[in-house]
Amino acid sequence: MTMGLTQGTTDKTQLRSYRLQHTTTDVYVVVADACISNCEPPRAQTRAPFRFSGKSMHNGQSLYIGCVDLNNERVVPLSQLTPNVSEIICDKRDTTAAPETNQDDHGPRSLKRRKTVSGLRLAPHTQDAAIIGTESQIDGCAASDSNGMTDDAQKSSVRQVHSDTRFPQRKNPSKDTSAPVLEPTSTDKLIAGIWRQVFSPVKLSRFHSVIEPGIDIRTGVSGEVFRAVNTLCLKYYNQSQSSRALEMIVQAYWIECYEARIAVLRLENPNLSAMEIRMMGLREACAVLNWKEKDLRNRIAIWRGYKEIKDAGGWASLIFASAGVYRFCKYRTGFGEGFSTRLRHIRSSLEVAADTLHPDWRDLLQVIGQQETRQYHGHPHEWVTVTGRPAVPLSSTYEHLQLPNGFHFRFIDECVLDTAAFGTEDPRRVPEIDPDVCLVCKERQSDEIEKNHCSCFSTLFGGVRNPVPVQLFHTTSGKNNGVIARSNFDRGIAIGEFTGLITKGIEGVDVMLGGTRTRTYQVFQGQMGNFTRFINHSCRPNSQFQRFYWRGKERIIVVSRGVTAGSEITVDYSDHYWKQLNKICLCGEPCCRFRERR
């Protein structure tokens, strides 16, 4: 048998490693690697152990055959090892302990921990009688040391993750009867952010001067100074929103100009390739912007997303996009999921809300020299949105009724008292109720935000009132108009108050009954009211009518049972209502109670 000894060094430890090879008819390749610790050995330690592994001879098992003398680089057989050298070998193996491997995890030797040192990989080991007999001298030393390490580990403290299993509790699948709710996609989040911004009280305009407070705000923390600081904060917030919108307008328009410039350069330089033409356009822009080409290309990818949003949903979809639009366009997480189609379907709906709630938003387009006129005027609910088409006036949807004087409806935020029926006394007032204390939460009620402590329905009473994110839309099931939610309404949140004319004695038309048995009243929405007049019935509604006492008066409100954005808001008109009608229900629910009427 011939043996060849090769040597080398590792990059990190700069220690020598040796590879011992021989070739026979039974063994293809046998390798012995020096297990040298990456710690500097003592001077007396001049021999390093190595292991002899063979694939055919020992079935992939390991065999220690000796050491390499580091002084003369010669192999020393195992039979010539002294006890001192055996101790050195044991020390070497202990200092190179590593995580346990998954190979042959059984037997007494499976407790040893091995790891790779200096890039050298140890061969797999098994429990073989011949090998154990050959390595008995080394294994005895290693076993004694490993037992000592086990005892020390048992005495040391054990760290363990402890958690309260009672919080949060997982839902029991066998008891959970609610339908599974899918996580909103990136497109859903972006569109929800657009609607949230449209129905927010932000004021978009072009500022031409620096905003200065009217009083000295450095004089203390009095109520007047604090109000001035809040006003200043609100003004600069609106200005920052306007500046952000102006920035996106210019950047989306830049993409259009860039593409037009590329087309001109292509005509002027027909011999250049498309890549060379685009690089020429990039260099022209970088010369003015003072940016690197890489930085500009990264920005172009984001700006191109702005342009795609504008092309699909109009300028309103881009101007009222929330802060998440930057990340949306940077990573393009929602493009290609029917995103453009969804924006095209709500394009006119966005413009209705933008024109009626933010009449001056189109003035921002003057920054790129574009003049646009306002398309929709009046109250936001005077327009009925149609999917994929421009919105139509509310009165036009009732032309089929052929009313003598046409359809006329006035939108009001508070109920109007019929003085001819009740005089000046409001029938909704309950004398037995303290007007300053809530019957539900027992907290103080006040129309002033600073003094109000009742938070039962703060979106309607005693809090900041923003436009309700709902719109009228044309249904496709024959119910004419309906109310669609543009944002989520969590369960228990008030959607709106049922407003109209407070009267009595009306028969033959739809009215809302209120009050008590001894003192009743009706809320009639034939000529005045709000969007609640157009809420349709459903045998499986997602909202409900509820009575609430605010400041000693009974109020009828629409409370959500869990309404998702884009779904129709429905209530149950009650069995008493349907018993007086000779109509069929068009809710389309499987549990419909009035689908077939005789």
Give the pLDDT mean for 50-74: 54
The CA distance from 222 to 265, in Å, is: 63
**pTM for the full predicted model:** 0.66
Asked whether residue 209 carries a pLDDT value surpassing 70, the answer given is no
- Arithmetic mean of pLDDT over the chain: 77
Neighbours of 226 (CB within 10 A): 12
Phi, psi for 398 (deg, rounded to 5)? -120, 20
Q: What pLDDT sits at residue 148?
A: 47
* Upper half-sphere CA count for residue 373 (Cβ side, 13 Å): 1
One-letter amino acid identity for 354?
A
- For 327-340, give the DSSP string: HHHHHT-STTSSHH
Beta bridge partner(s), residue 390 = none
Q: How confident is the model at residue 177 (pLDDT cuts 50, 70, 90)?
A: low
Phi, psi for 529 (deg, rounded to 5)? 155, -155
One-letter amino acid identity for 588?
G
Residues 236-271 pLDDT 10s? 888 888 889 999 999 999 999 999 999 999 999 999
Ordered alpha helix ranges (H), 199-334: 223-268, 274-289, 293-319, 325-331
Query: Do 117 and 36 meet the contact criterion of CB atoms below 8 Å apart?
Result: yes
Helix (H, G, I), strand (E, B) or coil at 74: strand
The token duo for 8 is 């080398």
Q: What pLDDT sits at residue 178?
A: 63
pLDDT above 90 covers what percent of the chain? 46
One-letter amino acid identity for 228?
A
Asked whether residue 149 carries a pLDDT value surpassing 50, the answer given is no
The token duo for 73 is 């680089």
Asked whether residue 128 carries a pLDDT value surpassing 60, the answer given is no
Q: What pLDDT sits at residue 35?
A: 43
Q: How confident is the model at residue 126 (pLDDT cuts 50, 70, 90)?
A: very low
Query: Do 548 and 583 meet the contact criterion of CB atoms below 8 Å apart?
Result: no
Q: What pLDDT sits at residue 113?
A: 54
Radius of gyration of the CA atoms of the chain, in A? 40
Give the pLDDT mean for 287-302: 92
Q: What pLDDT sits at residue 176?
A: 60
Query: In the chain, what are the helix, strand and coil shares in percent, each to the nearest 5?
Result: 35, 20, 50
Helix (H, G, I), strand (E, B) or coil at 130: helix
Q: What pLDDT sits at residue 445?
A: 95
Burial class (CB in 10 A: 0-12, 13-18, 19+), 238: middle
Q: What pLDDT sits at residue 375?
A: 94
Q: What pLDDT sits at residue 310?
A: 95
Q: What pLDDT sits at residue 192?
A: 84
Residues 406-464 pLDDT 10s? 899 999 999 999 999 999 999 999 989 999 999 999 999 999 999 999 999 999 999 99
Residues 348-385 pLDDT 10s? 999 999 999 999 999 999 999 999 999 999 999 999 99
The token duo for 205 is 């305009």
Q: What pLDDT sits at residue 544?
A: 93
- For 497-539, give the DSSP string: E--SEEE----SS-EEEEE-SSSEEEEE-SSEE-GGGGPEE-S
Asked whether residue 147 carries a pLDDT value surpassing 50, the answer given is no
- Residue among 74, 67, 109 at smallest CA distance from 88: 67
Q: What pLDDT sits at residue 597?
A: 64
Least confident of 10-14, 502-506, 541-545: 10-14
Q: How confident is the model at residue 114 (pLDDT cuts 50, 70, 90)?
A: low
Q: What pLDDT sits at residue 34?
A: 42
Helix (H, G, I), strand (E, B) or coil at 22: coil
Which residue would you say has higher pLDDT here, 50 or 345? 345
Query: Do 214 and 346 meet the contact criterion of CB atoms below 8 Å apart?
Result: no
Asked whether residue 54 carries a pLDDT value surpassing 80, the answer given is no
Q: How confident is the model at residue 205 (pLDDT cuts 50, 70, 90)?
A: low
Residues 533-578 pLDDT 10s? 999 999 999 999 999 999 999 999 999 999 999 999 999 998 888 8
Asked whether residue 472 carries a pLDDT value surpassing 60, the answer given is yes
Three-state SS sequence of 233-263: HHHHHHHHHHHHHHHHHHHHHHHHHHHHHHH
CB neighbours of 462 closer than 8 A, spacing ≥ 6? 445, 446, 447, 449, 452, 454, 455, 550
Asked whether residue 57 carries a pLDDT value surpassing 80, the answer given is no
Q: What pLDDT sits at residue 224?
A: 83
Q: What pLDDT sits at residue 6?
A: 41
Torsion region of 54: left, alpha or beta (phi above 0 gives left; psi -120 to 50 gives alpha): beta
Give the pLDDT mean for 168-183: 61
DSSP 8-state code for residue 264: H
The token duo for 167 is 């919080």
pLDDT above 70 covers what percent of the chain? 67
